Structure 1
């Protein structure tokens, strides 16, 4: 991949990493010589030079800092994935759910997160070689960040074209990220083999796995499987190949290996609990209360205003009149200030393998039904919820009709689906997919970005209409528009980006993988 030259100067602020600095070391490239085994002194030298940039990349790949989290995750993925919605009346007029968000919100991931990711990656690339551990790890973190960004906007300028400011199609981006992950896996697996089956470096910089690169290998394979499932309707043969390779190489199968980052204060705690800007969405509440799902009290707190049930969600796009009132009527996230931020789990990967089995992929580790049950069990285990066996055998419960809180803001609405929980091998293909995706969507909480992707990719779960009138005929945006400054600052490439998009630069044009 060509180096992106849109590099900005930045400072890694408020990060305390002992022994790490951003300075360059003489002879650095010799210490990273291809094919040469690195000794501890040489690897520590790498860490010294690149550790602070790794912190920056990890912070953007798994955004938990409150402003980064709210702008890149909560306002977009969490709200559009129908896990959370806004309780702040200042957000009620213009927002992503209504598909009329302020232009500053729309451009933020592109203008802020992407630039920080690219600038940190470029520094790591400058300080290391393509066969070094820092570069390989940076490829994994960049893949995580770029995947989230392309699934917001579609085409992006990722540096894969002759003109570094030119946009690549989403198909090119996906295939580039798979190739990057394959390169990173080759480098890291070689080092693990040379070190007797283990490799622990960057312990101070790595707030996800504490520098254990055997776990980063599982994460990289899992990211490939996530992408393979996303592509399976648009590029079935390629998706099958990537998915089967990822599972054979080893994805996350245990909650001990879940991708979760230590960041205090936790982003969702800040936005939902301390700030009170977000509350449970009516959609996930309807499904979980209807199913009597024991995880609901793990996800959300009881309302502070007495209602007819403990956990009450608010309709997406509601016309919130008063933040203080809404904060009491609807349920906040049940999360602590020091909770780890969860970004990819064994449950998600097992649901992906179940869908792979549904698509007749080889080597998924079981049939659809066994993997479906295993995925739900892993989710219950992850959240410390009880009575999973009874849940799995429930063939009667359906999502509940939604009843708004007394004097609430969104309005009541009948259930959107009658899908039940228990697996049924005699069901139609559509019913099997809906049952699988509904349970996967519930288990994906709190990662609303992935929940949003499932709604767009499959049409499931079926969700409530937006509570206020919008200018669109869809209930969930397919994307968010490009940065509004691009037509002025990058006009030729912007026009090409719209051509690659295959439709108008608006909320309705579909992702490449939406088939």
Structure 2
């Protein structure tokens, strides 16, 4: 009887508990009372902008361009990086920027996120930064999923858009982003680079448009000229180093320069023999600004008065250069100063672009190919601290004679700007860069192949892309690379 009473009591208790559960509201049980109740667009923008460093210090194309080479582990210098995945761009910064745009476009959320800056200005900056990322991606891989991207389970196998269509989209995207800027209204608070200065972002967009336009000079000269002249007409192209657009890092481990991170535990990047010898042969004073003297060796040849270049030694590209102190390192301020800035768009880059455009007869707003070429050299050398006498002497010894001079000087001026130097080298086919003798395939790559998972997971669209773009390897030229 006692046992029966216990069982009855237990059943009764469970019935009461079950009945009570029906009246309890658990809706907020898993809600953090201290968490945000709406999307924080400023954090999304900040998180996306951090990925700009992946482009600005992209070592692989810098190695391809033989500005530097590697020490004991020369994988990329031997072109061993065959495939890369673009997935993290779609799931990371591009997704964040799409969310910023959505939050500021939807009337139901726009009122909440206006606390982080004017809605239109937030959208404009997000679109410009997104265009910057997509431009980098298409110049690296070529065709990309775009018009059908970000559809989730509704379309997990998107088609590949041609590079031509992506460029057309990007031109429109930049124009529309600039047009929607509301000057005098607050810029996005998540913009830790330029403090929400919309004037700077308009300049950013104009210079990016100029770069993109010139990229098409061979494959679509009419569009290239039109877009280039539109960029010139904005009056926003950078023609003074004081206006250079740069990425400035922080001083803590979380925000410092990737170059400092590269050299924190291992000294693996050294000056390429190609760069050192080109500068030495031309008695280019930038040699002494780009590099440090080798600690354990001297050069077997010199070419400067007084043998002042004796200590500058470049390493063979792709060789196992185990004793790295025998070679010149990158300028110490770059690799050991945590907040040393990385250029994005510079006066030198603009002047060389204007010089090339002038040689085609395009409207560049004044100046000749020769004068703009000289302006480019001067801007580059001034940026790196070369004195006036050194600049004058170099220009006198290296007059403009044609596009090859522009291509060479642009390659020198784009020192450590891997993606842009690689793109311009592919387009202009100059200067001559001898492929590494230590590579299994002695050809410098002209694109990055897709990750193998793309062919496995999106086979039909991948095959269609190969049909219009060409074999998915490192040596199929991109749409604009027709020479």
Please tell me the TM-score bracket, short chain as reference.
0.7 to 0.9
Residues 107-506 of structure 1 mapped to structure 2, 5 A cutoff? 107-108=84-85, 110-129=86-105, 132-159=120-147, 165-188=158-181, 191-192=182-183, 195=184, 201-202=187-188, 205-249=190-234, 250-264=236-250, 265-272=256-263, 275-308=266-299, 309-320=310-321, 322=322, 325-334=323-332, 335=334, 336-386=337-387, 387-394=390-397, 421-424=398-401, 432-472=402-442, 474=443, 476-501=444-469, 503-506=470-473
Partner Cα separation in structure 1 for residue 375 and residue 37 of structure 2: 47
SS of aligned partner of 1:63 = helix
1:100 and 2:103 are equivalent in the alignment: no
Q: Could you say if the C-alpha distance between residues 297 and 175 of structure 1 is closer, same or farther in structure 2, counting changes exceeding 3 Å?
A: same
Shift in Å at residue 272 of structure 1? 4.6
Q: Is the 8 A contact 1:353 1:364 kept in 2?
A: no
> Bigger shift: 485-494 or 325-334?
325-334
**Per-residue deviation, 1:145:** 1.0
**TM-score, with structure 2 as normaliser:** 0.80
Query: Distance in 2 between the 1:422 and 1:23 partners?
Result: 63
For 2:432 and 2:160, locate their aligned partners in 1 and report how far apart those are by CA, in whole Å: 33
Q: Distance in 1 between matches of 2:47 and 2:272?
A: 31
CA distance 1:143–1:280, change in 2 (3 Å): same
SS of 1:222 mapped into structure 2: helix
Alignment of 1:19-98 (within 5 A): 24=38, 49-63=40-54, 73-74=58-59, 76-89=60-73, 92=74, 94-95=75-76, 97-98=77-78
> For residues 142 and 22 of structure 1, what CA distance do their matches in structure 2 show?
25
CA spacing shift, 1:22–1:508, aligned 2, 3 Å: farther
How far does residue 270 in structure 1 lie from its aligned partner after superposition? 2.6
Q: Is the 8 A contact 2:65 2:433 kept in 1?
A: no
TM-score after normalising by structure 1: 0.75
SS of residue in 2 equivalent to 1:85? strand
1:215–1:257 contact (8 Å) kept in structure 2: no
Contiguous gaps of at least 5 residues in structure 2: 1-34, 107-118, 251-255, 300-309
Instruction: Give the Cα separation in 1 of the matches to 2:37 and 2:375.
Output: 47
Q: CA deviation at 1:172?
A: 0.9
Task: Say if 2:271 and 2:330, in contact at 8 Å, map to a contact too.
Answer: yes
Q: How much does 1:209 deviate?
A: 2.4
Distance 2:67 2:101 in 1: 37
CA, structure 1 residues 51+22, in 2 after alignment: closer, same or farther (shift >3 Å)?
A: farther
Contact kept in structure 1, 2:357 and 2:364, CA below 8 Å: no
* Cα distance in 1 for residues equivalent to 2:198 and 2:314: 40
| Structure number, greater radius of gyration | 2
Contact 1:272 1:332 in 2 (8 A): no
Over the aligned positions, Cα root-mean-square deviation in angstroms equals 2.3
Name the stretch that deviates more: 239-248 or 282-291. 282-291
SS of alignment partner, residue 343 of structure 1: strand
Q: Residue 303 of structure 1 contacts residue 332 of structure 1 at CA under 8 Å; is this kept in 2?
A: no
Contact 1:353–1:371 at 8 Å: present in 2 too?
yes
**CA deviation after TM superposition for structure 1 residue 384, in Å:** 1.7
Structure 1 residue 230: Cα displacement: 0.7
CA contact (8 A) 1:158 1:167 kept: yes
